Homo-oligomer: A and B are copies of this chain.
Amino acid sequence: MEELQLSTRNHGILLEAMRYAITPVGLHYLLTHFDIPPVDPLTWRLRVDGNVAETLSLSLDDLRAMPATTRVVTMECAGNGRAFLDPRPASQPWLLEAVGTGEWTGVELHHVLDLAGPRESTVEFVLTGADHGFDGGVQQAYQRSLTLEEAAATGVMLAYDLNGAPLPPQHGFPVRVVVPGWYGMSNVKWLTSITAVDEHFTGYQQAVSYRLRHHEHDVGEPIRRILPRSLMIPPGIPEFLSRSRVVPAGECRLVGRAWSGFAPIASVEVSDDGGATWAAAEHDHQQVDDASWIGWRFTWQATPGDHELCCRTTDAKGNTQPDRAQWNTGGYTNNAVQRVTVQVTES
């Protein structure tokens, strides 16, 4: 029932919507930790405080008057692939769909930080959202931090527009954080404050959750950048209940997307025998943005019978996708290759 409640609230992209280079609003994946908070854009202010020369209180108009930047960013939940782990960690039971690509417009974070003037002893900035609840037994507003260096990076922004329109409520209206190349947990929605602190932030979502732990007592490693993944649009037509696919024999165009938070995509490969043999797919060599997925395509000669189609990608730093999931306590960063079973029928 817990998984059901979460999976009814939180939804993934419909894989066929990967046909759109920019994911239309409503098809982008969405994970809401607590409730979507009501925010009045007229009275909303972003407070910049803590270890700074000047405390700021910025309106939406103030932010919109600052230099604007637009980035096409592929966002993925760190828990994508969790439901394939065995045993399955109790949380949002994502299969493969927790991804989407948005055109985000906002002001780069460093512009705002420069206005406030962080003192030299500043180590991190704590980003606080208006959403509030309990997680892991701790009452909290949703909070994450970025180090000085991370916060100063090009592209890290306070976004107020998605796909050319003001953020919809569910994506953080009126302002959210976007950290290109990082898993979704860093992109604090419904931002209310940025606090400069002189020691590392130990809030729940930073120090307890979103860490890669191999066992319960493992202190683990923080989760940051998105591991490479490729996904295909399942070919043919689906069966309603099982989502199994039927494909007519003959030439079948396989298309999909690939991304990595570490480096450009170097290759995409496809298998039609469950990963026993692989063939190179054609892929885009121009990315619209360093942080955006690319398209790929492969012409498959579909022969009658059952096939397990797979795809995998490797980035320019040699990061690739494993055949099988690597278990961890939180069920994070499972980028194992996608497996799509299709039944090919005589055409």
Which residues from chain A sit less than 8 Å from chain B, CB to CB? 2-12, 14, 16-17, 19-20, 24-28, 30, 32-36, 38, 83, 90-91, 93-95, 97, 132-136, 139, 168-171, 234, 237-243, 246
Residues of B within 8 A of A241 (CB): 2, 6, 90-91, 135
Q: Are A2 and B242 in contact (CB under 8 A)?
A: yes
Instruction: Please list 18 pairs of residues, one from A and one from B, whose beta carbons are closer than 8 Å in the complex, sorted by A's number.
Output: A6-B241, A8-B95, A10-B11, A11-B30, A14-B35, A24-B169, A25-B168, A26-B30, A26-B168, A27-B169, A33-B240, A34-B237, A35-B234, A132-B237, A133-B237, A133-B239, A134-B246, A135-B239
A194 to B14, CA, bound (A): 27
Copies assembled? 2
CB-CB < 8 A to A30: which residues of B?
A: 11, 26
Contacts of A27 in B (CB 8 A): 168-170
CA gap between A7 and B95 in the complex, in Å: 10
Report how far A94 CA is from B11 CA in the complex, Å: 13
How far does the alpha carbon of A238 sit from the alpha carbon of B38 in the complex, in Å?
15
Q: Nearest chain B CB to A39's CB is how many angstroms away?
A: 11
Inside 8 A of A33's CB, which chain B residues have their CB?
Answer: 240
Instruction: Judge whether B8 and A94 touch: CB under 8 Å.
Output: yes
In the complex formed, the residue of B with least CB distance to A239 is: B134
Q: Are B35 and A237 in contact (CB under 8 A)?
A: yes
- Knowing A8-B7, A17-B36, A32-B14 touch, does A240 contact B134 (C-beta < 8 A)? yes
A4 to B11, CA, bound (A): 11
CA distance A215 to B132 in the complex (A): 45
* Given A36-B17, A169-B27, CB of A9 within 8 Å of CB of B11: yes
> CA separation between A17 and B94, bound complex, in Å?
22
